[in-house]
A and B are shown apart, each in its own frame.
Chain A
Amino acid sequence: MIDPTEFWLLAPEIFLAVAAMLLLVAGSIGRGVRNRPAAAVALLSLVATALLVLWAYGKGGSSEAFLAGMFVLDSYALFLKLLLLIATGLTVTISGRFLEEGGYRPGEYYSLILFAATGMLFMVSGYSLLSIWISLELMALSSYILAGYFKRERKSNEAALKYFILGALSSGVLLYGISLLYGATGTVHVGELAARLGDLVSTGEQPILIAVGWLLLAIGLYFKVAAAPFHVWTPDVYVGAPTPVTAFLASASKIASFAILIRILFEALPALKADWQLITALVACISMIWGNLAALTQDNVKRMLAYSSIGHAGYILIGVLCASEEGLWAVLFYLLAYAFITLGAFGTVIILEQREYAGETYSDYAGLARRSPFLAASMLVFMVALTGIPPTGGFFGKFYLFAAAVEAGWIWVALVGVLTSAISLFFYFGIVVQMYLKPSEDTTPRPMPAVGLASTIAICAIVTVLLGLVPGPLVELAKASLIPLP
């Protein structure tokens, strides 16, 4: 039986859900709310939720699961929740222009973002496969709707349809895996699952159910983090979805999916460590190679960023497969750095892009340095960071990941990582060349970013550089946010 006072520790999630509902109802009455106030309410509630997260952690943070073993509030969850709230907040600030120009209702848009964030918060704290799965579905469902939010544009519609179909298939696969693991162990609680699996593996019972079960579960999760060869949905969805939503999918949604991937592999399947390390290594290498090679041939910047995001899923998986302390904090560090870099890069894309696909190609960046030195400089920072060159957070992120891999004995994976990073130089610097070396076309108007958008890009660029100059504090923070190793 659950002690009702435990619900106080859910205050952040409950608050965020209530805020989303208020925004929803307010946005539906009469002509609805306007963009600015709606964004302000969404931002304020995200800040308040972050404060509540800190409060709840101070009140009852521990690595013990509660609410009948459904929910855990450990330092790992704390770190990721704050990161997710930051990423969601930055998504809110880059969304305004799109909504105003498209004439879509902002109330529903922001409330769907907040609902997705609620699902993510529950995901990182989930300690039962049932609660993890249902909150994953909450996030996914909100994301499907957001991807199709610009329903007057055919590409947004098709992106939503594709995302929905492959997303639903991947949750089906994931669920099938969960059902087989349940059949082998009789539980869906993460801690109990680990214990029973340990017994079963040592006595050699139910090998088939366990093997097929964890493999399907892992494939479902690789799907969600967009790792190759389970990435088929990513390029089309990233290109077709409204760009702020793409930024949201590439940052917050990816972080939350990685959070549950790590939670499940580390805490539920430690008995199968050797198996999942190998598979994860393969997936990581395929993602890095495929993502970076495919990005070479793109001339649409959004599509390039989509393939780059597949490659980066591979880099992050390197840290996961190490199953070591160094690997885990390197992943947390990288997730944070990557969130700022991605959101900044997509923010820049938003400023340049116009209707349909206009403004998304490499040649649209020609001479940007003269048209808008600020935009060009920030895009330069993001491209440098994505390549992994100092002095940016991207450099230290990759450096820590590769170092962890070498230390854990996965030298060949680290080698693939270094080589593919070298390849990535070509397509990231393709944009830089366009911006700084190609002459500007006079016909293109000088982009005038809105205040919210410009300040978001500035913040992202500053944080990216800061992380490259003084990574120490964040490393300490990440080191304090680990979960038990398998």
Chain B
Amino acid sequence: MFEFLTTSGPALLFYLFALMAVAGAVCVVSMRNPMYGAIGLLVCFLSIAALFLLRHAEFVAVVQIFVYGGGIMVLFLFVIMLVNLHRLHETTMLGNYWRTAFVVSLALVAIFGFLFLKVEFGPSFEDPSKFVDALEPGMGNSEAVAWKLYREYLLPFEIASVFLLVAMVGAVVLGRRA
């Protein structure tokens, strides 16, 4: 029993966090009150961060917690508090058919699941150190990411800063009183 727990620990953690992520996601789309949905979203974000850790994406996991858990979440909560919840239904654009939602998502899951179950991969790394060794030698995850990001991907990086600038402009243009 103890041996099972130690060898299968990561797998059990995967199932735990995967379950939490799915539960959070279901909560997001099914709750009538967006505040509960936001909490579900937070659970989902954090579980996904943990799942990133299990795949040795330490840096991305921290970014996930930072930006999603700390930033985007705050934004959502502010907006939920800013708007008049009684008027939310006046923004109707598409129908509110939870049965359709259920069918759509079930169909998508069935199609994707059916297909993805057939996907074969070579053996993934039983020993995580192999993944780390495959990176630049002697670097931790954030160093390796930095090394690649700032030497190869600097064009998308600079475009991203313009993108963020536009996002700022958009928030001011749209959010200020006209």
- Whether A and B touch directly in their complex, counting CB atoms under 8 A apart, is answered as yes
Q: Judging by beta carbons under 8 Å apart, are A2 and B154 in contact?
A: yes
User: Could you say which of B119, B156, B166, B169 contacts A209, with CB atoms under 8 Å apart?
Assistant: B119
Question: Min CB distance, B93 to chain A, in Å?
Answer: 6
* A167 CA to B166 CA, complexed, in Å: 16
A481 interface residue per 8 A CB criterion? no
Q: CB-CB < 8 A to A158: which residues of B? A: 93
A112 interface residue per 8 A CB criterion? yes
Task: Answer whether A137 and B169 are a contact pair too, CB < 8 Å, given A148-B174, A208-B116.
Answer: no
User: Could you say which of B116, B151, B160, B166 contacts A68, with CB atoms under 8 Å apart?
Assistant: B151
Q: CB-CB < 8 A to B166: which residues of A? A: 112, 115, 138, 141-142, 145
Main DSSP-derived SS at the A contact region = helix
Task: Please give me the residue from chain B that is nearest to A1 by CB atom.
Answer: B151
Task: Please give me the residue from chain A that is nearest to B93 by CB atom.
Answer: A162
User: Could you say which of A111, A161, A206 contacts B169, with CB atoms under 8 Å apart?
Assistant: A111
Q: Which of A344-394 contact B (CB under 8 A)?
A: none
Question: Min CB distance, A140 to chain B, in Å?
Answer: 10
Task: Answer whether A145 and B170 are a contact pair too, CB < 8 Å, given A122-B159, A138-B163, A212-B115.
Answer: yes
A149 interface residue per 8 A CB criterion? yes
Q: CB-CB < 8 A to A131: which residues of B? A: 155-156, 159
B99 interface residue per 8 A CB criterion? no
Q: CB-CB < 8 A to B151: which residues of A? A: 1-2, 68
A296 interface residue per 8 A CB criterion? no
A195 interface residue per 8 A CB criterion? no
A175 interface residue per 8 A CB criterion? no
Q: CB-CB < 8 A to A128: which residues of B? A: 156
Q: CB-CB < 8 A to A212: which residues of B? A: 112, 115
* A138 CA to B173 CA, complexed, in Å: 16
A24 interface residue per 8 A CB criterion? yes
User: Could you say which of B119, B163, B170, B173 contacts A137, with CB atoms under 8 Å apart?
Assistant: B163
Q: CB-CB < 8 A to B116: which residues of A? A: 208
* A158 CA to B93 CA, complexed, in Å: 9
Q: CB-CB < 8 A to A67: which residues of B? A: 154-155
Task: Please give me the residue from chain A that is nearest to B154 by CB atom.
Answer: A2
Q: Determine which residue in B115, B160, B166 has the highest number of CB atoms from chain A within 10 A of its CB, and name it.
A: B166
Q: Judging by beta carbons under 8 Å apart, are A112 and B169 in contact?
A: yes
Q: Judging by beta carbons under 8 Å apart, are A151 and B178 in contact?
A: yes
Question: Min CB distance, B28 to chain A, in Å?
Answer: 15
Q: CB-CB < 8 A to A134: which residues of B? A: 156, 159-160, 163
* A160 CA to B174 CA, complexed, in Å: 10
A165 interface residue per 8 A CB criterion? yes
B165 interface residue per 8 A CB criterion? yes
Question: Min CB distance, B77 to chain A, in Å?
Answer: 20
B109 interface residue per 8 A CB criterion? no
A152 interface residue per 8 A CB criterion? yes
Count CB-based A-B contacts (< 8 Å). Answer: 82
Q: Judging by beta carbons under 8 Å apart, are A70 and B156 in contact?
A: yes
Q: Judging by beta carbons under 8 Å apart, are B174 and A17 in contact?
A: no
Q: CB-CB < 8 A to A248: which residues of B? A: none
* A24 CA to B169 CA, complexed, in Å: 9
Q: CB-CB < 8 A to A141: which residues of B? A: 163, 166-167, 170
B153 interface residue per 8 A CB criterion? yes
Question: Min CB distance, B166 to chain A, in Å?
Answer: 5
* A115 CA to B112 CA, complexed, in Å: 37
* A2 CA to B178 CA, complexed, in Å: 45
Question: Min CB distance, B24 to chain A, in Å?
Answer: 18
* A152 CA to B176 CA, complexed, in Å: 11
B118 interface residue per 8 A CB criterion? yes
Question: Min CB distance, A243 to chain B, in Å?
Answer: 19
Q: CB-CB < 8 A to B126: which residues of A? A: none
Q: CB-CB < 8 A to B155: which residues of A? A: 67-68, 70-71, 122, 131
* A135 CA to B160 CA, complexed, in Å: 8
Question: Min CB distance, A196 to chain B, in Å?
Answer: 15
Q: Judging by beta carbons under 8 Å apart, are B169 and A108 in contact?
A: yes
* A158 CA to B162 CA, complexed, in Å: 26
Q: Judging by beta carbons under 8 Å apart, are A130 and B156 in contact?
A: yes
* A483 CA to B67 CA, complexed, in Å: 39
A56 interface residue per 8 A CB criterion? no
Task: Please give me the residue from chain A that is nearest to B120 by CB atom.
Answer: A206
Q: CB-CB < 8 A to A152: which residues of B? A: 178
Task: Answer whether A135 and B159 are a contact pair too, CB < 8 Å, given A144-B170, A145-B166, A148-B174.
Answer: yes
A342 interface residue per 8 A CB criterion? no
Q: CB-CB < 8 A to A148: which residues of B? A: 174
Task: Answer whether A161 and B91 are a contact pair too, CB < 8 Å, given A151-B174, A208-B119.
Answer: yes
Q: Judging by beta carbons under 8 Å apart, are A68 and B152 in contact?
A: yes
Question: Min CB distance, B52 to chain A, in Å?
Answer: 14
Q: Judging by beta carbons under 8 Å apart, are A145 and B173 in contact?
A: yes
Q: CB-CB < 8 A to A111: which residues of B? A: 169
* A165 CA to B119 CA, complexed, in Å: 31
Q: Judging by beta carbons under 8 Å apart, are B159 and A138 in contact?
A: yes
* B interface residues, Cβ below 8 angstroms from A: 91, 93, 112, 115-116, 118-120, 151-156, 159-160, 162-163, 165-167, 169-170, 173-174, 178
* A interface residues, Cβ below 8 angstroms from B: 1-2, 17, 21, 24, 67-68, 70-71, 108, 111-112, 115, 118-119, 122, 128, 130-131, 134-135, 137-138, 141-142, 144-145, 148-149, 151-152, 158, 160-162, 165, 206, 208-209, 212
| 20 CB < 8 A contacts A-B | A17-B162, A67-B154, A68-B153, A71-B155, A111-B169, A112-B173, A115-B162, A119-B159, A119-B162, A130-B156, A131-B155, A134-B159, A134-B160, A141-B166, A141-B170, A145-B166, A149-B173, A162-B93, A206-B119, A209-B119
20 new A-B pairs (CB below 8 Å) besides A108-B169, A141-B170, A206-B119?
A2-B151, A67-B155, A68-B152, A70-B155, A111-B169, A115-B162, A115-B166, A130-B153, A131-B155, A134-B160, A138-B162, A141-B163, A142-B166, A144-B170, A145-B173, A145-B174, A151-B174, A158-B93, A162-B93, A212-B115
